[in-house]
Structures are given as structure tokens and as C-alpha cells.
Chain A
Amino acid sequence: MRAKWLCLMGLAGAAAGCGQGNLVFNVDVLSFLSGADTMHYDLPGGVGPVDSSVSRFFALPGGFGKSTINNVSITGAATLYNATGGGNVLFDVFFAKTQAGLFTGTPYVTASSGPVSGVDTVPLLPPTTVSPGDTVFKADSIWVGVRARITTNPPLTPHMTGQLRLMQLNVRIVLNDKIF
């Protein structure tokens, strides 16, 4: 039924506005990840890298698979709240057409916390990436995945504990004029 909704929305945009203009979708992906926007970690020292990830499936407006995508801009931001221990955390965001292929390629946005130790709060602000003509989004559905890649410092104790909280994940998709 979501597909119906999105298809109708696409029709409205296409019928009302498709001359030579673009169809632009600003998607607040974070809002769809409620409950999965925070990744907790508790790892002994001297291990890693260890991955913690979440993923979600999205239906895109009908016709995305047949449209020409001008470009896709992705803006992400996260905050690392480290409680104990030390190490570093790599924050990655992936998009893929299938769940199996989600964490296999190069992340769309990535940022490293650098060395952290003890109680520390580190903002992770990867630069906005722009992917012209991205074929991953040339589909009727898509998977989004967020990964925290953690490497801890020895000794074994204390454990490195804390959480990585996603603060922003916006995707701006610019289509050519004809979604249908």
C-alpha cells in the first residue's frame, strides 16, 4: 500500500510539474529508523575491528526504476558517546538494491571518530556526498544500512562501552523530468 501512496505522489508531481524541471525528493531517512538509530557497544580492549549495524528496506515511488537520476546527495551525522575504555569508531552509511549487497561496497558517507578514551563525546560529521547518475537509486526499492566499525585499545579491561547515535541522515534524489 505504501507503493500506491508513493505512486500517487509521483503522479501528482509528474502531472503537475514535469516540463523540463526536475523532480526532487528530500527524504528524512532518520525518521524511518526510529528505534534503530542508536547502536550500543560493549567490547573488551584490544579487539577489532568489530561491526555493529542496522538496516532498513524502503519502497521508492513507482517509476524510480525507469527514471533518469541526475544525482543523489547524502548528508549524515552522528554522535559518539563513549563511556569507558578507548579506541576508535568508524561511522558508515550504505545503500544497496539488495540486503545481501548492503555492506559490501564503499560506504556513501563515512567519518572516523579518531582516538577516544574514557568519557568522551565526539561529533561525527562526514561531508555530504554527491553521486551523479547513481544507479543504486534507479530501482523501485532500496536498502539502507548504518554501520559502526569499532576497534578497541588494549588492555582487555576496561571494556570500551558507549553508543553511537545517528543524528541526521538525509537523502536528496534529483530525477529527470519524467518519473513515469
Chain B
Amino acid sequence: MRTSVIGIGLVTLTVGWAAQAAGQGLVFDARRLGMGGLALGRSSNVVRYNAAYRAMPARAGEYGQPKVTIPIPLGLIQFLHDHPHISNDPAFNPDSAGFNPILVLNTLLNLPIYYEVKQAPTPTNDVVFDIGQNALRANLGLSAALVPEDQLGIGGSSRPLDPGIGIKGVRVSLMGWLHDEVGLQLGDNLLGFLRDSQPATPNTPYTVIGDGILEGGVAPSIGYAGRIAGDSTTGFYVGAAVHYYLGIAFARTNGTGGFVTGNPIFGAPVKPTVSAVTDYSKAGNAFGHGVGGDVGVAWVSGPVELGVGVNDIGATLTWTDTREDTLRYDTTSNAIRTNPGPNHFTTKTKLPVSYIANIAYAVGKTTLGADVLNNGRGATIHVGGEQRLGLFALRGGVARDQRKRVEFGWGGGLRLGAIGLDLGFWTHTNSISNERGITMATSLSIY
């Protein structure tokens, strides 16, 4: 029981704080980290989210477009040095007196790929519980600020593959797509208990409200991208694509889970409470159907480049063979029961509209840029730049993540012919802490 409770707690907290990680992205390129997460050039986000960029050629002689970037995982060396016998390390063993859930969480949220220059300090205040037969109050002190008030979530849409053929700007493809989202929010009672130190009351539910969706499929697509005005140095590009989404399977759930205090609080059993409604259509059922599209424009004029792209516009899928199950905790049998509900009915799901707006300015040995990206769960903003000095490059940048926290990046690089070594420092708030940590990324690039 103890392990399961710990597990639920860890999963909850991990999902919660993973939102920050998702917002900042898992980046393996030290050059990009050094610019606050900004990606310059014809790679990464601009091509994914702006259909016009498919037609834009790379800038002639543009610096920093490696063929391959290989991360140098100094963080792994650090981690293995600190925890040489991970399988026997008490800090990672829930049955050990030395088990440290904070360390486990921080390791999950900050995968030890890069060297952690400054660990985000965890709260060091006392946590006080006042307990009586019909009284319970928690005072988490400064740690209460870490209890999330808003909904926490991770997810978005992705296109893991998009094979196709193109002729004169027209491209026909079969795109694979995925949409996943998980959201969690503490109920008012639990939030008040943990964050505001409100006393617990008898016969009261303390719950977490959750929702999630997972769907995927393929989409036959046809699109066009091309320059409609100007030339390669000054030109206006447009791109558009229409997708016919065929959903293979989906599952969507909304529910609450937690416990109900006894009466008196410590004199009667605590009762779990779980209730959830799940709609789903398994693979093999009828496909979901829907139509959506992408549009994008981009303008380049000498050193300046601007672009705006929007994806999955109007992408609503209709599933004609949906089943609905209800999940609840049965207090009689002390077990979770599933009650089959309606079957073969029609429901709809909607892919999130994602967008990107970017600007870049490259002149001489200076490159500056900024982008705003929203992949369905809030906008992230990156602003950064690079200044080259002979063989060396200096970089800096700032970013605002989905939780509106500001992070900073800085670093440099050395390029010798076809080989480049980059170093990037990056602040992060992925830890269970209300202060920033600093990580150092190193990567090798082959041009």
C-alpha cells in the first residue's frame, strides 16, 4: 500500500511539473540552449509549423546549420559519479529509509543528460501537521508555494512521419499524427488544505481533477508551398495543406480521484473516491473522420526573415463507433468498478490549433531571432542571438515557458572546419523548487 501511495504521489507530481519541462522542450543542441531555446535556420519548429518554409531555401552561407548534432552527456557522468550503484541506491529505493522522493522527481524532470552547474535548492523549511481525533491541519511553510493552483498539463499534437512526393511545389503525402494531452488540477478542498493550510473537515472529499485524451491516425494530405513574389533574396512565400484525418483510435477521460475523510477524521475509515467517464474507440472500430488544414506565409528580404504558420485549422474528427464507460470506486466491495455505458454512438474530438510566428535578422557575423510557438497548451517565447568572432561564437537568449516563467540561456562555440563544439548554459525551473537551477549543455556538431 505504501508503495502504491508513493507511486500515485510521484506520478501526480511528475505530470504536474512535467508541464514546465514540456514548455521548455527537451533540447539536445547546446547551440540552441545558448540562445534561450531559439532555433534559427531551416530546421525544427519553423518547418514543422509553417507550411511556407517548405519552399524556402536555406540562406547562402548561413552559419550554424550542422548536418548532425551529437549531445555530449556530461550529466550522465555526473549522475553516475553521484550514484554509482543506482540499482542499490537507497535514495531510489522506496523500501529504503534513505528513499528520497524529491531526488527521484528531480531526476525524472531533469534527465541527467547535461551537467547541472547549479542545483535548484529544495525547500528546507519545517512541515508541521497538527493532529487530533477530529482535526488535521498541515502547514507546509514556504513549500506551500510549490503546490500548483492552476491546471497542470502536458501534451500537444505531433506528426511523427510524413512521407510523400512533391512536384513543382505541390506535395502529396500520408501524414501520421498523434494528439495527447493530460491535465491535472487539485480540487478546492485539497488545494486549501495543502496550499492555504486550511484545516481538514470530516466527511469531505479531497480530490484531484484530471482529464486526458490520446488519439492518433493518418491523414492523406495535399499541399502547396512556393514563392509567389520576388526572388531568392527578397521573396514572399506561401504554403498550405489540406489533411483528411483518419483516426485509428482514441480515448478521452474526465474524472476525479482522491479520498473522503471519516467522521471523526481519525476515528472513522478514510474512503477512496474515484469517478471517471471514458469515451473511446478502439483500433479496428470505424475510423474517425475529419478535415483540417495548415497555412503559412513567410517573407524574406535580405537580412530579415518573417514567418507565420498555423496548423490543424478546423481539425475536428467525428467518431461514429464510440463507447462510453463509467469508472467509480465501490465502497461496498472496496474495489474500482467499471460500468459499461452507451455504445456505437457518435462523438467528436478536436486537434489543438498550433501556431508559430518567427523573425530572424542575419547580417554579417550577427544573427538575431525570436519566435512565439503555441502547440496547443500555451505559448512559449524565445528571443536570442549569436555573434561570431573568428572561430568563436557568443550566444545569448531568453525564453518564457508555458507557465510564464522566464528562463535565460547563454553560451559559446568553437568551430574548426567541419567540426564544432558548443557550450550552452540554461536556467530551468523543472525541479521541485521555486528557484532556478542552471544546466550546462555540451554538443558536437558536424557541418
In the complex, B107 has a CB within 8 A of chain A: no
Who on chain B is nearest to A68 by CB? B97
Whether the pair B133, A32 counts as a contact (CB closer than 8 A) is: yes
CB distance from A65 to the nearest CB of B (A): 9
Which of A11, A22, A24, A25 has most B Cβ within 10 Å?
A: A11
In the complex, A104 has a CB within 8 A of chain B: no
Whether the pair A31, B1 counts as a contact (CB closer than 8 A) is: no
Whether the pair A26, B269 counts as a contact (CB closer than 8 A) is: no
Given A2-B269, A16-B194, A34-B133, answer yes or no on A11-B6 (Cβ-Cβ < 8 Å).
yes
In the complex, A54 has a CB within 8 A of chain B: no
Query: In residues 1-27 of chain B, which contact A (Cβ within 8 Å)?
Result: 1-2, 5-6, 9-10, 13
CB neighbours of A14 from chain B (8 A)? 101
CB neighbours of A23 from chain B (8 A)? 126-127, 129
CB neighbours of A15 from chain B (8 A)? 9-10, 13, 101-102, 105, 432
CB neighbours of A12 from chain B (8 A)? 9, 138, 140, 194
CB distance from B122 to the nearest CB of A (A): 4
- Give the contacting residue for A5; candidates B13, B100, B270; CB below 8 A: B270
CB neighbours of A11 from chain B (8 A)? 5-6, 9, 101
Alpha-carbon gap, A120 to B202, bound state (A): 39
Whether the pair A28, B138 counts as a contact (CB closer than 8 A) is: no
In the complex, A40 has a CB within 8 A of chain B: no
Interface range on chain B (Cβ under 8 Å from partner): 35 or more
CB neighbours of A17 from chain B (8 A)? 123, 125-127, 140-141, 143
Given A21-B123, A21-B126, A180-B94, answer yes or no on A62-B270 (Cβ-Cβ < 8 Å).
no
- Give the contacting residue for B100; candidates A1, A27, A66, A178; CB below 8 A: A178
CB neighbours of A26 from chain B (8 A)? 128-131
In the complex, A13 has a CB within 8 A of chain B: yes
Alpha-carbon gap, A128 to B261, bound state (A): 32
Alpha-carbon gap, A60 to B81, bound state (A): 37
Who on chain B is nearest to A63 by CB? B2
Who on chain A is nearest to B432 by CB? A15
In the complex, B447 has a CB within 8 A of chain A: no
CB distance from A68 to the nearest CB of B (A): 8
Query: In residues 97-144 of chain B, which contact A (Cβ within 8 Å)?
Result: 97-102, 105, 121-136, 138, 140-141, 143-144
CB neighbours of A27 from chain B (8 A)? 131-132
Whether the pair A1, B270 counts as a contact (CB closer than 8 A) is: yes
In the complex, A9 has a CB within 8 A of chain B: yes
In the complex, A75 has a CB within 8 A of chain B: no
Whether the pair A31, B135 counts as a contact (CB closer than 8 A) is: yes
CB neighbours of B262 from chain A (8 A)? 1, 5
Alpha-carbon gap, A145 to B220, bound state (A): 76
- Give the contacting residue for A16; candidates B130, B146, B259, B267; CB below 8 A: B146
Alpha-carbon gap, A25 to B269, bound state (A): 20
CB neighbours of A7 from chain B (8 A)? 1-2, 5
In the complex, B266 has a CB within 8 A of chain A: yes
In the complex, B147 has a CB within 8 A of chain A: yes
Encode contact with B along A61-74: 1 for CB under 8 Å, 0 otherwise.
01100111000000
CB distance from A139 to the nearest CB of B (A): 13
CB neighbours of B127 from chain A (8 A)? 13, 16-18, 21-24
Encode contact with B along A136-151: 1 for CB under 8 Å, 0 otherwise.
0000000000000000
In the complex, A156 has a CB within 8 A of chain B: no
In the complex, A3 has a CB within 8 A of chain B: yes
CB neighbours of A62 from chain B (8 A)? 1-2, 5
CB neighbours of B143 from chain A (8 A)? 16-17
In the complex, A19 has a CB within 8 A of chain B: yes
- Give the contacting residue for B97; candidates A13, A19, A178; CB below 8 A: A178
Who on chain A is nearest to B267 by CB? A32
CB distance from B20 to the nearest CB of A (A): 16
CB neighbours of B102 from chain A (8 A)? 15, 18-19
Alpha-carbon gap, A26 to B128, bound state (A): 7
CB neighbours of B270 from chain A (8 A)? 1-2, 4-5, 8
CB neighbours of A66 from chain B (8 A)? 96-97
Alpha-carbon gap, A3 to B121, bound state (A): 31
CB neighbours of A18 from chain B (8 A)? 100-102, 122, 127
Alpha-carbon gap, A29 to B125, bound state (A): 25
Alpha-carbon gap, A21 to B131, bound state (A): 19
Whether the pair B13, A24 counts as a contact (CB closer than 8 A) is: no
CB distance from A30 to the nearest CB of B (A): 8
Alpha-carbon gap, A4 to B268, bound state (A): 12
Query: In residues 62-110 of chain A, which contact B (Cβ within 8 Å)?
Result: 62-63, 66-68
Given A24-B128, A34-B133, answer yes or no on A13-B6 (Cβ-Cβ < 8 Å).
no
18 A-B pairs within 8 Å (CB atoms) are namely: A2-B269, A7-B1, A8-B259, A9-B138, A12-B194, A13-B129, A15-B105, A15-B432, A16-B123, A16-B140, A16-B194, A17-B126, A18-B101, A18-B122, A22-B127, A23-B127, A32-B132, A62-B2
State the 3 A-B residue pairs at the shortest beta-carbon distance, nearest first. Answer: A17-B127, A1-B269, A19-B122
Instruction: Knowing that A4-B259, A20-B124, A24-B129 touch, tell me 18 more A-B residue pairs with CB under 8 angstroms.
Output: A2-B266, A2-B269, A4-B5, A11-B6, A12-B140, A13-B138, A16-B144, A17-B127, A17-B143, A22-B126, A23-B126, A27-B131, A31-B134, A32-B266, A32-B267, A66-B97, A68-B97, A180-B99
